[in-house]
Every structure is written in C-alpha cells, then in structure tokens.
Amino acid sequence: MLKKLISYFDLGSSLYGLEIFSEQKEALFHLILLRKSKGELVIVDEWRFSEWIKLLEVLDKKIPICLTINSNGILEKLTQKKIQNDVRELVDQEFPGLDFNRFFYNVSEFKNLSYIAIAERKWVLELLEKFKIAGVSVLCFHLGSSVLSVLLPHLKEESIITNIKEISFSEGEYGIKASSGRKTEMQYLINGLNISNKSLIGFGNVLQQFLSVSKVHTNYEEKESFLKKEFQFLRRFQMLIWPVIGFFLILLLGNFLVFNQYYEKKHNLELELNSNSFKKEKLLELKESVTTKEKHVDAIFSSKNSMSTLYLDDIGKTVPTTIILKSITYQPLAKPLQQGKSIEQEFNTIVISGETINDDDFSNWITTLERLTWVVQVKTLGFGHENAKSAFFELKVSIDDE
C-alpha cells in the first residue's frame, strides 16, 4: 500500500507515451495516454499530429511525457554481439571513433541481438528544452526503438512493425528497414491487451516507467534522473501546496476567532515581554563578551606566559653569527584581527623570522633548537634566497608548556 502511495505521489496514475518520428522529411507525433487502474494499464486515448502546436493543445501539462525520439537524427544498428559489462565498448565497436561527449547512446537487448541507437547530444537537449519552454514535463526519454526490449518477452513474432520501421529478430535474418506505419495497420497482443503497431513504442516507454524496470543502457542516466526528480518535486509541490495553504488558513481563522477578545491584553503583554527579553539577551551577550575578553587577558598574562622570557633567552643563546633575527612572536594571532570578532591565538607557539648567509649554520641551528628541552617541534614555514648571499626564513616552534 505504501509503495503504491509513493508511486502515485511520484508519477500519478496517468502517463503520456510520445513518439516523435519522421516520414518523408516530415516530423510526426504519435501520442498515447495510459492510466494505471487497479493494477492494470488502460489505454485512455491516442492521437497523431503533424504540427507541434496541435500537440500542445491536446496535452494536459499536469501529466508527464515518456518521450521516444525516433526521427531522422537517430542512427541505429542491430548486432549479434552481446551486451557485456562495458556497454560503451560495444557502442565503440559498432560506431568506431564516436565522440561520447557529443553523442547520447542507448543499448538494449532484442532477444538474441543487441540494439544500439545514437543521437547528437546538443540536438536532443535542444528538443528537451523546447518541451520545457512549452511547460511540458518530460519524465524520461529514449532513442530509436530501444523501449521495445520491455515488450519483446511478451511477443511471439519474429519481426515487429512500428510507425516507420520493420525490425526483424530471427537469427538467420535480422535487420531494420523502413516501413510506412500509415499503410500498415497491425495489432499486437501483450498480456491480453491489444496494442496498435502505431502505439507500440509509446506504450513500451510508459510500461517501463510504471513497472520501474529499465532494460535500456544509456550514457545519459544523469539527465534522466534530473528530469524525473524535477517532475517529482513539481508534482509534490502542486499536490501539497493547496492543502497546506488551506490548513494554515483554517488554523489562522480559528486562532483569530478564539483569541480575538483577548488580543489587546495579549498584545500589550507581548510588547512588555519582548522588551524584557531583548534587554535580557543584550545583557547576556554583554556578559559573555566580557567573560571571553577576561579569558583572553588571563591567558595572555597567566603565569605560564612568564616562561616566555626563558624561551626567548634560550633561543637567543643558540643563534649563530651567520643568522640575523628580524622578529620573534610568542603566541601569535591565529588569524588577522577583525572588528567585532574574538581574538584567536596559537598557544604554545613561537614564530621566528630572519635572514641567514650560511645554509649549513641554519640547518645546524634548527637541530640545536629541536634539542631544547621545552621544544616539541620546529617546522619551517618558509625559506628562500633573496639574493646570492642571503636567504630569508620563517620557523614555527611548538612548545611543551606543561
């Protein structure tokens, strides 16, 4: 029950299956509307258009479309090669040198054969954008006749005729050839449901969505996932927004009726309470600020810091004549001072900077510093030659201050 409810919220009970195909360079649209009722699929209606505007006039924009692109921009192949773990390798074998950054592909199993369809990525995305601008939600899209893979297990025929193609699957003779769906009227029996050959592609695409089973391998899963999530968000928003608004309106009206007689008294009390709360908050903030500053002052002038003189004296004794110190900073700032921000220091740290004219003396001096009993670690923050005679340096000395 919960699964059905989630499915209803995500997809609804109705879906369009739309196939876009070309006949004599003319773009045609075959649309089928299916509804899921008591666990069965019911064909509500189907249409055929030769004009985009006519299609938009019929569409209910609350119902999403399962789109199949089967027009002149599609290249397709049937091959006896099996689909392995690396589908992309199979596509590359059948379409050598294909730029996967410029082309979308999908691959599906047609009985003992593999079906591959490709299309230019830019062209497909422009078509999807056209639907979006028109306010039509595309739930998923597939290329060529790939969605037939979900229907083939239920069909006994060795060949299938769609709107514009005849696809043969027999091992001895397989292939795809042109066939005018307008001239050929056929019915296919699928689980007790008679499906016209004109609606076969659209039906397969919708069936795949209702069953939540995809037998099509693609390199555009990310795009399809985005389209599905986009529609699900829009549908949930549309379904929940009015009940939520209604609930809050009723709640506000009830609140107004119940408490209206006490409004003035309550209002004055709230003003007084807000004023006291504001003063209390300011007082707490001020107290916290003072406490923080006291802690920083105590930390800076604590008894531990009296050891700084010892540290600096020990460092001074170790400096060789080839090194000139420019600065020694005890417990330096962790970050620059900012107005309104607390002061942060690197405790138990001394930063030393200066110049040296002898690299060996500098290395020996670091070793000497590391041997001091109160030194935990000496880290070189920076070292570089300013000229041929001298080099600048910056050291970070970590202190054992316990």
Domain harbouring 7, CATH code: 3.30.420.380
Q: Per DSSP, what are the bridge partners of residue 114? A: 79, 109
**Block mean pLDDT (10 aa), the chain, length 402:** 44 89 89 88 92 94 93 91 87 93 94 92 96 94 93 86 86 76 75 88 91 86 91 75 73 76 74 76 78 64 66 87 89 78 81 90 90 90 84 90 68
Query: Tell me, what's the pLDDT at 10?
Result: 57
- Give me the helices (H) in 260-339, please: 263-300, 308-318
- Domain co-membership, 287 together with 311: no
Task: State how far the Cα of 398 lies from the Cα of 354, in Å rounded to an integer.
Answer: 18
* Co-location of 107 and 206 in the same domain: yes
pLDDT of residue 20: 96
Q: Does 226 reside within a domain?
A: no
Give residue-wise pLDDT tens across range 260-290: 777 777 777 777 777 777 777 887 887 787 6
Instruction: Kindly state whether residue 224 falls inside one of the protein's structural domains.
Output: no
**Are 8 and 130 found together in one domain?**
yes
The reply to whether 247 and 384 lie within a common domain is: no
CATH number assigned to the domain comprising residue 390? 3.30.1360.100
Token digits of residue 62: 């609350």
Same domain, 77 and 136: yes
**pLDDT of 295-321, one tens digit each?**
665 655 554 556 778 888 888 889 998
Does residue 57 belong to any structural domain of this protein?
yes
Q: What does the pLDDT read at residue 24?
A: 79
**Count of domains for the chain:** 3
Its domain, for residue 185, covers: 2-219
Q: CB 54: neighbour CB atoms within 10 A?
A: 12
Q: Is residue 233 part of a domain?
A: no
Confirm if 65 and 18 have CB atoms less than 8 A apart.
yes
pLDDT at 6: 43
Domain assignment present for residue 320? The answer is: yes
Q: Is residue 229 part of a domain?
A: no
**SS3 assignment, position 369:** helix
Rounded distance between C-alpha atoms, residue 143 and residue 104, angstroms: 9
pLDDT value at residue 2: 35
182: CB partners within 8 A, 6+ apart = 23
Q: What is the largest CA-CA distance in the chain?
A: 103
